[in-house]
Amino acid sequence: MKKYWSFFRIRFIHGLQYRAAALSGMVTQFFWGIMQILLFHAFYEASPDSFPMDFQAFSTYIWLQQAFLALFMTWFWESQLFEFITSGNVAYELCRPVRLYHMWFVRGLAVRLSKAVLRCMPILIFAWFLPEPYGLSMPGDMKIWFLTLISMILGLLFVVAFGMIVYMSVFYTISSQGTKIMITSLSEFLSGSVIPLPFLPGGIREFVSLLPFASAQNVPFRIFGGDLTGSDLYISLALQIFWLITALLLGLMLEKRALKRIVIQGG
């Protein structure tokens, strides 16, 4: 465990060095969040009773999405890991006295957390000072804060575990490009990154809510905004745990099978 913690620290500190990239990302996320909120506000004013989310809950969802984009963006891939596999340089990784899956999982956690730490607080503070209903709404119940934190941890672990499935699948392909394009397109829409899942039509919404992608940002952000309550809240948390365990087991299985077949040529 100590060696993985050391590797986590190295990657986390390394990620904190990119302050200029974080600053440019924050500016982009500020304006993107404002544009989304103003766009949907026009729709809400045209037909205020036809939307499944309260506008304040929607605004909170958007600002949380922008603040914690680095934690839950499924389109973020580490190109170096794909290059390791396709070029054969993964042989150097296999020489380390650690398990490949565990090392890359820790790496994924560290990279995402370092990016989020640099960006989240300025965005959250900015959103908090915006007037209602355009800003970030804070829940008064400590239980909601606790459940949101648990859900965010589960969601982050799932996103990293899902990424590991994608990385391990590249051992079975010639190029990673097709896999990345297909997975990114599906996961972005089905996770609620394009529009919150409650905005989907009834039957489709219920089906998508059962899929693994809904266990990422959809659940914690809706809990925090007060849109997910009662039995639906606990069912969603249970689904997060289920899909996390499933993703972990599938990733470990793919790694084990891939390393049995791998052949490294050369001296």
Amino acid (one-letter) located at 241: I
* Angstrom distance (rounded) from CA 227 to CA 236: 12
Residue 265 has pLDDT above 60, yes or no: no
What pLDDT digit, counting tens, does each position of 59-93 carry? 999 999 998 988 888 778 888 888 888 777 787 77
Instruction: Enter the pTM of the model.
Output: 0.90
Give residue 24's pLDDT band: very low, low, confident or very high (50, 70, 90). confident
Give residue 267's pLDDT band: very low, low, confident or very high (50, 70, 90). very low
- Which of 211, 212, 232 is CA-nearest to residue 222? 232
Whole-number percent of the chain with pLDDT over 70: 97
What pLDDT digit, counting tens, does each position of 171-185 carry? 887 677 777 788 888
59-95 in b/e burial notation, b at 16+ Cβ within 10 A?
bbbbbbbbbbbbbbbbebbeeebbebbbeeebeeeee
- Which of 141, 134, 124 is CA-nearest to residue 229? 141
What pLDDT digit, counting tens, does each position of 195-217 carry? 888 888 878 888 998 999 988 88
Instruction: Quote the DSSP letter at residue 49.
Output: T
Whole-number percent of the chain with pLDDT over 90: 25
* Angstrom distance (rounded) from CA 36 to CA 195: 10
Residue 232 has pLDDT above 70, yes or no: yes
196-210 in b/e burial notation, b at 16+ Cβ within 10 A?
bbbebeeeeeeebbe
The mean pLDDT value for 12-27 works out to: 79
Centre a 10 Å sphere on the Cβ of residue 43 and count the other Cβ atoms it contains. Answer: 13
Domain ranges of the chain: 2-261
Instruction: Quote the DSSP letter at residue 196.
Output: -
- Token reading at 97: 């006295």
Pair 29, 123: CB distance under 8 Å: yes
- Which of 186, 233, 221, 194 is CA-nearest to residue 67? 221
The listed range with the strongest mean pLDDT (52-66, 129-143, 176-190, 235-249) is 235-249
* Cis preceding-peptide flag for 139 (omega within 30 of 0): no
* Angstrom distance (rounded) from CA 237 to CA 231: 10
What pLDDT digit, counting tens, does each position of 144-158 carry? 999 999 999 999 999
Hey, is 17 helix, strand or coil? coil
Weakest-pLDDT range from 42-51, 112-121, 155-164: 42-51
Give residue 253's pLDDT band: very low, low, confident or very high (50, 70, 90). very high
